[in-house]
């Protein structure tokens, strides 16, 4: 991923509805969701949702596929992976201890389950 692609993806996610939409699509991988279901789940008018989905698609974060009368949207996990790697690529300056917590969190693909003491 290059700077321009990262900026496009981050700009697409820098809006509340699009961020919620992308997170919803990620949570429905690999089957995806019809556009109407995405709009209903987020209580957004369908024409407005179409615009948001188009922005995510242009940014490479989502992809669509026609199935009969429906358009199914899916998160593009390869793009998410590329963006994440682009953001953290040289974060530790060679000190792997600094990245261990981040890598452990990413490896688990689940929210942290820290116990409060």
Tokens (6 digits) for 59: 């940014």
Helix axes 96-108, 77-88, angle to 10 degrees: 160
Quick one: which of 35, 50, 44 has its CA closest to 16? 44
Q: Output phi, psi for 116, to 5 deg.
A: -75, 135
Residue by residue, pLDDT tens for the chain (117 residues) are: 999 999 999 999 999 999 999 999 999 999 999 999 999 999 999 999 999 999 999 999 999 999 999 999 999 999 998 998 888 877 777 777 777 787 777 777 655 445 444
- Find the radius of gyration of the CA atoms of the chain: 16
What are the sequence ranges of the domains in the chain? 1-109
Helical axes 46-58 vs 35-42, angle rounded to 10°: 110
Q: What is the pTM of this model?
A: 0.83
Q: CB within 8 A of 87, min separation 6: which ones?
A: 6
CATH fold of 1-109 reads: Arc Repressor Mutant, subunit A (1.10.10)
């Amino acid at each position: 991923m290059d700077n321009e692609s990262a900026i496009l993806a981050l700009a697409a996610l820098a809006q509340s509805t699009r961020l919620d939409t992308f997170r919803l699509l990620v949570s429905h991988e690999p089957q995806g969701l019809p556009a109407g279901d995405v709009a209903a789940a987020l209580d957004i008018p369908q024409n407005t949702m179409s615009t948001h989905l188009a922005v995510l698609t242009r940014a490479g974060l989502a992809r669509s596929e026609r199935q009969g009368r429906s358009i199914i949207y899916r998160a593009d996990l390869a793009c998410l992976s590329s963006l994440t790697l682009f953001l953290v690529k040289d974060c530790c300056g060679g000190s792997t201890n600094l990245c261990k917590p981040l890598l452990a969190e990413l490896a688990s693909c689940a929210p942290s389950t820290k116990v409060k003491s």
